[in-house]
Amino acid sequence: SPGNTDLTEPRLVARCPVAARRRRAGPKREDETLLFKDRRDAGRRLATHIELPRESDALVLALPRGGVPVGLEVARALRLPLDVMLVRKLGVPGHEELAMGAIANGAVEVLNYDVIDALGIPNEDVEAVAARERLEMERRNALYRGDIPAPKLMDRTVIIVDDGIATGADMRAAVEAADAQGAAHTIVAAPVASRQAVEALREVADEVVTVAMPEPFGGVGRHYADFGQTSDAEVQRLLADARVPTI
């Protein structure tokens, strides 16, 4: 019912075929008036919606920065290791909040040519933004991981987590990066997502799991009581917490 905040919401999942291992199924409807207390609360609720393939070697990859507190709760609930999938949005020059694409680990680049062509953005401007964001991605990689190598994804189930999905450009880049590194099964997971983004991501991921798809969407932050910015220091602390074995 509207306003329900317990952990028993029906699981909302969309699967699709990509090559022989993909299966298509339409997303199920769910309560669209959900409000999460904060990212940790959202992560705990999201975890109840995720079902892992049998005998899978799985891990959780969170998109920094806001996806990390969500991912930590998912990893704890499913008793899986946590790491980060570094993705950077490519913002339109002068209108950086508008995405014209995204880049991710492994030299993956996803461009939105509808936006680029509609605004007449020159190739050199796109390349300049991408180069700047790659530098920031390298900075964050060194900051978050230090000397710890990135996890191997070959033949593993990879759960890619963010705090919400509006357009899906950065998540699409993350999925393509995981596939490029040999992931056997990719699960996109976010507490809240736009229907448009879910439909688009169904074309590249094995599963898309979300707690709610509100219409109208209105942005990720409106579905959280506390949507304060996650700092680099908090990401470092949460990743350090995740590396400490729990009993």
Interval 119-166: pLDDT, tens: 999 999 999 999 999 999 999 999 998 888 889 999 999 999 999 999
Q: How many CA atoms lie within 13 A of 116 on its CB side?
A: 15
End-to-end CA, the chain: 36
pLDDT, residue 158, reads 98
pLDDT, residue 86, reads 93
What string of H, E and C letters represents the secondary structure of 136-190? HHHHHHHHHHCCCCCCCCCCCEEEEECCCECCCHHHHHHHHHHHHCCCCEEEEEE
Beta-carbon count within 10 A of 145 CB = 16
pLDDT bin (cut points 50, 70, 90) of residue 232 is very high
Burial class (CB in 10 A: 0-12, 13-18, 19+), 74: buried
Q: How far is CA 203 from the centre of its chain?
A: 15
pLDDT, residue 43, reads 98
pLDDT, residue 7, reads 40
User: pLDDT tens across 49-100, in order?
Assistant: 999 988 889 999 999 999 999 999 999 999 999 999 998 889 999 998 888 9
User: pLDDT tens across 70-80, in order?
Assistant: 999 999 999 99
Q: Is the pLDDT of residue 101 over 80?
A: yes
Q: Is the pLDDT of residue 185 over 90?
A: yes
pLDDT, residue 13, reads 52
Sequential DSSP letters for 10-53: PP-EEE--SGGG---BPPPP--S---BSSHHHHHHHHHTT--PP
Q: Which of 85, 81, 84, 86 is nearest to 244 (CA)?
A: 81
More confident residue, 27 or 188: 188
Both structure tokens of 196? 């448009």
pTM for the full predicted model: 0.80
Scored b (16 or more CB within 10 A) or e, 165-188 reads: bbbbbbbbbbbbbbbebebbbbbb
User: pLDDT tens across 2-28, in order?
Assistant: 444 444 444 455 444 333 344 333 343
Residues ≥6 apart with Cβ < 8 Å to 146: none
Q: Is the pLDDT of residue 102 over 90?
A: no
pLDDT, residue 245, reads 60
Residues ≥6 apart with Cβ < 8 Å to 161: 43, 46, 60, 61, 62, 63, 67, 70, 71, 74, 189, 190
